[in-house]
Chains A and B, each alone.
Chain A
Amino acid sequence: MGTRIYECISRIAERIIDNKEYLTELDREIGDADHGVNMARGFQAVLEKVPQDSDDVGAVLKKTGMTLLSTVGGASGPLYGTAFMEAGKAVAGKERLEAADVPAILDAAIAGIQKRGKAAQGEKTMLDALIPALETYREKLESGSDLSEAMDAACAAARDGVEFTKTIRATKGRASYLGDRSIGHQDPGATSATLIMEAVRDFLRG
């Protein structure tokens, strides 16, 4: 058993590794059939390299990001690497991960992905899952939902975002070369982002 933040990260890693074939299969349709393989390799390294005994939430997220950056490769490596490193900065100094930290973490991760990938919502990327998730989370909190309800709604919004990516053509990344042929397929990156959200939700539920 590691610390709470290590447990959370390891639940994310397990979720990605369990879905290796699925993510690769999605990428086979509109990309180059390696998203699951690359993500699983990266999160396997995360399980091995991230310290199990550190309570420093920011430092653990940062280490996760740096490990992904140096092991995933492709476009997902810099994007997820940057997302986790920026998320780590947003919660620097915290010693316990709380559901209330989710908006700050998501906000920082999204900003990092936007900056590194020069992408916006509606381009068939992981942002199409993450941005609606964050917006929904905030709306739910404002309208009086508790943290657990807000997280459920955020994950549902991310799932809807994945469904939405089926209806649009890709304008970023390798899928953009397909033009209209990318329509009808869901985005592997939006899918992996949603899997990560759901792993965090399940972890916070305990």
Chain B
Amino acid sequence: MKKLINEVDNVVNEMLDGIAAAYPQHVRRLDGLDVLVRAGGSAGKVALISGGGSGHEPSHGGFVGKGMLDGAVAGAVFTSPTPDQVYEAIKAADGGKGVLLVIKNYTGDVMNFEMAADMAADEGIQVEKVVVADDVAVENSTWTTGRRGIAGTIFVHKIAGACAEVGGDLENVKRVAEKVIANVRSMGMSLSACTVPAAGKPSFELAEDEIEIGLGIHGEPGVNREKMGSADDICDKLLDKILAEGIYKAGDRIAVLVNGMGGTPLMELFIANRHIHEALTGKGLVIAKTIVGNYMTSLDMEGFSISLLKLDEKLEKLLNAPANTPAFVQA
């Protein structure tokens, strides 16, 4: 393993200090905790808190700031943060109007965030939660814990965050978040595994000509392994699965997120985006907004995911509203 780190046990701690040092205008780290909150606080508005295991940077600390999140809780690499950390984030971010937890659908995340919500509710803080489950690679059935939350979560941060910023109350913000969740679907693939610092070696082995389709963002294996194909073919494969959901129909206005997993050059993401636009436009969909970049990464993994969000007038307006955070800035 070759990584730009010091002690393996200190990666999250040192990263958070580095983020806080880079963006003092946006974020402040809570003393002794793995929590970033807005530098200026969140008084008078509904607070949005997200979080999860580290290794997905800029998620989620990179989205703390005006128009998006109010707090982000960082667990160990690919490991949900503990309830006490989430609880402290809730207490610190609560601006008196209640707190919405944006949770990605993983067994650990849901359990830890729910325990924290119970603790905060005991203190009289109004807490609601939404669970993002946008990954179509996983069958949604009684035989799984449900779909995973992946890059589509960024749309929830952006849109629910904008709703809270313009004064939406907790019920409103939650409803908007749920609307995004109902209308966003994603799927990813990888060309290589990632290496968790504490594990010291790649999370799975892929042959030179193999790719993994439908994998999550934690280096866990995907749903199937295939021979490498062209960028266009791979995009078609992911889009077919997303479009099979039946949510996106000709004439619909949609937003597209082409998300890098951390180890993929932007050149390749743009090459993918070119064909994604061609294919979706060819099906009569109207692309109202496109976001390309590394937003929900998986350490050094090579790969990407596509997320589609069906828009209505309200969602589109909130998506285009201003945001000013370390990793997402929009006038």
- A: which residues have CB within 8 A of B? 24, 28, 30-34, 37-38, 41, 69-79, 116-117, 169, 171-174, 176-179, 181
Contacts and interface: CB of A to CB of B under 8 A. Distances in A.
B221 A75 contact: no
B79 A177 contact: no
Contact of B78 (A34, A77, A79): A34
B145 interface: yes
Chain B contact residues, majority secondary structure: loop
B196 A34 contact: yes
Given A32-B218, A177-B144, A75 B76 contact: no
Given A70-B84, A177-B223, 19 more contacts: A30-B221, A32-B203, A33-B78, A33-B199, A33-B203, A34-B76, A69-B84, A73-B53, A73-B76, A74-B53, A74-B80, A75-B80, A75-B107, A78-B115, A171-B143, A172-B145, A174-B107, A174-B216, A176-B143
Interface in B48-102: 53, 75-85
Contacts of A179: 139, 143-144, 223
Contacts of B199: 24, 28, 33-34, 37
Interface in B150-184: none
A197 to B, nearest CB: 23
Contacts of A79: 111
Contact of A28 (B79, B85, B203): B203
B305 interface: no
A77 B203 contact: no
Nearest to A116: B111
Chain B CB within 10 A, most for which of A32, A41, A71: A32
Given A37-B198, A171-B143, A32 B84 contact: no
